[in-house]
Amino acid sequence: MTQVRKAIIPVAGFGTRLLPISKSIPKEMVPVVDRPLIQHVVEEALAAGINEIILVTRSGKSAIEDHFDAHVELEDSLASKGKDDLLKMLADIAPPYLKITSVRQP
């Protein structure tokens, strides 16, 4: 049997069931305990053996893409201050072996 390695996650909705909070931030970025909801979804996919994720987004969802993108200035600042635990936390958001791509839905 072939192992599933790719997941497509639709994140293009308006989040009307989560109004009013979803008016200012994408519903996928709403915190659940200590991480955004989308982070929990990605961690579950990783645990299932997924190594490529495609996020189907729309305009106004750049916060989701930014969450999984590298932040060189922040990483450099943390490294220069010796905050290795925070650097690891950032690295765990999107491990180097995980390919995350976003596609904008018209």
Over residues 2-58, the pLDDT tens digits come to 788 999 999 999 999 999 998 999 999 999 999 999 999 999 999 999 999 999 999
CA 4/CA 51 separation, integer angstroms: 9
H helices, E strands: number in the chain: 5, 5
Tell me what pLDDT residue 11 has: 94
Query: Per residue in 52-93, pLDDT tens?
Result: 999 999 988 999 999 999 889 999 999 999 999 999 999 989
> Which residues lie closer than 8 Å to 26 by C-beta, 6 or more apart?
11, 15, 60, 61, 63, 64
The domain 6-104 is placed in CATH, from the list 3.90.550.10, 3.40.50.300, 1.10.10.10, 1.10.3720.10, at 3.90.550.10
Distance CA 78, CA 102 (A): 27
**pLDDT for the residue 4:** 84
The three-class DSSP label of residue 104 is: strand
